[in-house]
């Protein structure tokens, strides 16, 4: 599950130090957020909210790793409706289909941390105080025993976003009633357009993109409108972030493959038809 902002995906809860978007189609190793304090019982905590998340602030228990839903269903994120009850799923939250690392089963080790000094099991204590490298385990973060556990893994790759229709069908198959959404929630068509955008980002480049083009090509809302409604300054800032993201993804891949490459951002060193880099 992600927060959708300007066509980019962001984690909803744990603080995102650099406010960076989550790329699609790339294997991502989880980082352990810095510990910012402890509870009265000694449980380590990390900062929640801030730039690059759903916003707000607070603290969360320290259970590092990518947190994934077993099914696309999460009542704990509901917002208040007209009657004052929290029964509406946020209109800027989206669900994604992902692959995740599970070569190593950390379940037994994770649950072993749930015993207090008296030898009594306490669910809030359970969970690994480290990233589950090359593996995963399940843990129910919500104190309500009727809620679904999360998969906590050391690495994952976002394949695509799920449309609201797909989400509802999966929830029904799991025997649940689909969550109602806030007004203005993304539609099937908008999600399909986003998925198309993610796919297009992996194509071969055929021209040097201007700031306006980089911004427009990666902004499904502007594309749906037919023209960009961003200011030139917003387009420039977005293009700078997008190009940095491109370089970071390339360097991440080359490190994993053990390759040495040179990233070319201008046409001066290129020849022929390829004399038009993407960004």
**How far is C-alpha 104 from the geometric centre of its chain's CA atoms?**
22
Mean pLDDT, rounded, for 237-264: 82
pLDDT of 50: 54
pLDDT of 203: 56
pLDDT of 252: 87
pLDDT digits over 141-166, tens only? 776 776 788 999 999 999 999 999 99
Q: Under DSSP, is residue 196 helix (H, G, I), strand (E, B) or coil? A: helix
pTM over 0.75: no
Mean pLDDT, rounded, for 1-7: 89
Please determine, for residue 17, whether its predicted confidence score (pLDDT) is greater than 70. Answer: no
Sorted by where each begins, the domain ranges of the chain are 2-203, 205-279
Please name the residues in contact with 10: beta carbons below 8 A apart, sequence gap of 6 or more. Answer: 2, 3, 4, 16, 19, 21, 22, 52, 53, 54
Contact 113, 152 (CB under 8 A): no
pLDDT digits over 35-71, tens only? 888 877 777 887 775 555 565 556 778 889 999 999 9
Mean pLDDT, rounded, for 219-248: 77
pLDDT of 204: 43
**Tokens at 123, concatenated:** 């669910």
Task: Kindly compute the dihedral angle of the four CA atoms of residues 257, 258, 261, 263, in this order, to the nearest 10 degrees.
Answer: 60
What pLDDT band is residue 259 in, cutting at 50, 70 and 90?
A: confident
Phi, psi of 234 (to 5 degrees): -65, -40
pLDDT of 25: 85
Mean pLDDT computed over every residue of the chain: 81
pLDDT of 189: 95
pLDDT digits over 85-116, tens only? 899 999 999 999 999 999 999 999 999 998 88
């Amino acid at each position: 599950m992600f927060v959708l902002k300007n066509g980019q995906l962001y984690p909803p809860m744990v603080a995102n130090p650099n406010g960076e978007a989550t790329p699609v189609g790339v294997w991502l190793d989880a980082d352990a957020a810095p510990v910012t304090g402890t509870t009265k019982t000694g449980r380590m905590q990390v900062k929640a909210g801030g730039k690059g998340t759903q916003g707000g602030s607070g603290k969360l228990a320290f259970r590092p790793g990518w947190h994934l839903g077993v099914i696309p269903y999460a009542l704990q994120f509901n917002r208040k409706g007209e009657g004052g009850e929290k029964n509406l799923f946020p209109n800027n939250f989206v669900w994604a289909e992902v692959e995740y690392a599970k070569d190593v089963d950390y379940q037994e080790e994770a649950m072993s941390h749930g015993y207090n000094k008296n030898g009594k099991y306490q669910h809030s204590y359970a969970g690994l105080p480290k990233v589950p490298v090359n593996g995963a385990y399940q843990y129910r973060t919500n104190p309500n025993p009727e809620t679904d556990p999360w998969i906590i893994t050391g690495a994952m790759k976002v394949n695509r976003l799920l449309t609201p229709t797909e989400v509802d069908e999966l929830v029904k198959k799991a025997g649940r009633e689909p969550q109602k959404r806030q007004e203005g929630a993304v539609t099937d068509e908008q999600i399909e357009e986003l998925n198309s955008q993610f796919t297009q980002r992996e194509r071969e480049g055929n021209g040097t993109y201007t700031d306006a083009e980089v911004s427009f090509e990666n902004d499904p809302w502007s594309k749906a409108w037919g023209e960009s409604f961003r200011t030139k300054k917003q387009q420039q800032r977005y293009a700078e972030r997008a190009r940095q993201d491109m370089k970071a993804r390339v360097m991440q891949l080359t490190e994993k493959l053990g390759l040495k490459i040179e990233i070319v951002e201008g046409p001066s060193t290129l020849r022929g038809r390829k004399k038009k880099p993407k960004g």
